[in-house]
Amino acid sequence: MSTQDVGGRVRDMARAARAVAVSAAENALETVVAELMKVVDDDDDRLPVVLSQDPKHPGAPARPIDAMAQTAVRRGAESAIEERDAVFSGRVSQICYVGEESGSQTQLIRPGTLVVRSDPLDGTSNAVNLLQGYCSVVTVDYIDIPGKRGRHLGGAILGGDIDISWEQWSRRSQTGDGYHNALGRVYVRSVRLRTEWRAAEVSQEYRVMANMASVAASESRFRELEAYREAAFAAGGIVYHLAGNPFCAALLFGEVGSFVEIKDVTLHDSAYLIPHWLLGGATEGLDGSPLNYIDLYEENIANFDVSAKPVPPFVAFYGRQNPFSVVGEGREARRIASAKDRIFER
């Protein structure tokens, strides 16, 4: 499948990939909610569960609910792939399932490999403690020729009141500079309102550029974000210490102007940057340098190491200027004396 083929086969594959991602994520969420609801079940006679966990599993220790959700992802993906056999037949020779709960994998990659990458329960601590603030994220990619760059096709981030899904078929540069023109479509739906998927557009009219979000669950993360919080507060903004995939809709459609990530992260933890890009958003490193996320993502499609964190710290934002470009200058001192004058320019 030519990476320059932006019609026909690529578009068909992208549409099918989005459906696979949605089915997989839906199945995972149903399993998660069912497990969470068992806390009120008086007749819980389940046998003890022993969880075999990859020692390189990042973040908080996995729980049985994570493994159950991972199994559900595979079930949902397989069902959707079977339903779309007309699209995948003759193009897909095998399917590789990659996920935080799947552990490190040594896999044979054949021509025509479909990669289903997932974090079926992103925000486990939020789920079991708060019963909210979590999601299921699934992305689908295609490796036409082993050893060559893969192609991202589509994905889904489901959870909360607004679900996000997307398909991507952008044309790529022949010069090797990583340039992509953003050809794709983002869809939204509300399970609460029982709305069907509809194509999304972003209105900047009501976006508050001073509002920011960033994960700060640990003391070290909270301290490292001090300069960014000060800059946001100086501009009259609000700071939310919840970000990433569970907070994706806030960046895409809410009044949150930017996400700040101060640590290296995995592909599945930063998947929301793909719909952000497709809707015209920008991403830069903390030093203000451009960050081509889709290029970085596709370079690492065949990297199945659960501990791999190829995505460097970044600011994802809308508008013409990175609202934290001042903070990024001289990161050692992190002084923001001129923030009020220069930050959050439209």
Kindly report, residue by residue over 46-70, the tens digit of the pLDDT: 544 444 455 555 555 566 788 888 8
Question: 128: which 2 tokens?
Answer: 């079991």
Q: What domains can you pick out in the chain, each with its CATH number?
A: 9-199 (3.30.540.10), 208-342 (3.40.190.80)
Which CA distances in Å does 13 have to 18, 73, 114, 174?
Answer: 9, 19, 10, 21
pLDDT of residue 99: 80
Please tell me which residue, 203 or 250, carries the higher pLDDT value.
Answer: 250
pLDDT by residue (tens digit) across 156-186? 999 988 999 999 998 876 666 666 788 999 9
Residue 39 in this model has a pLDDT that exceeds 80: no
pLDDT by residue (tens digit) across 127-153? 888 778 889 999 999 999 998 889 999
Residue 193 in this model has a pLDDT that exceeds 70: yes
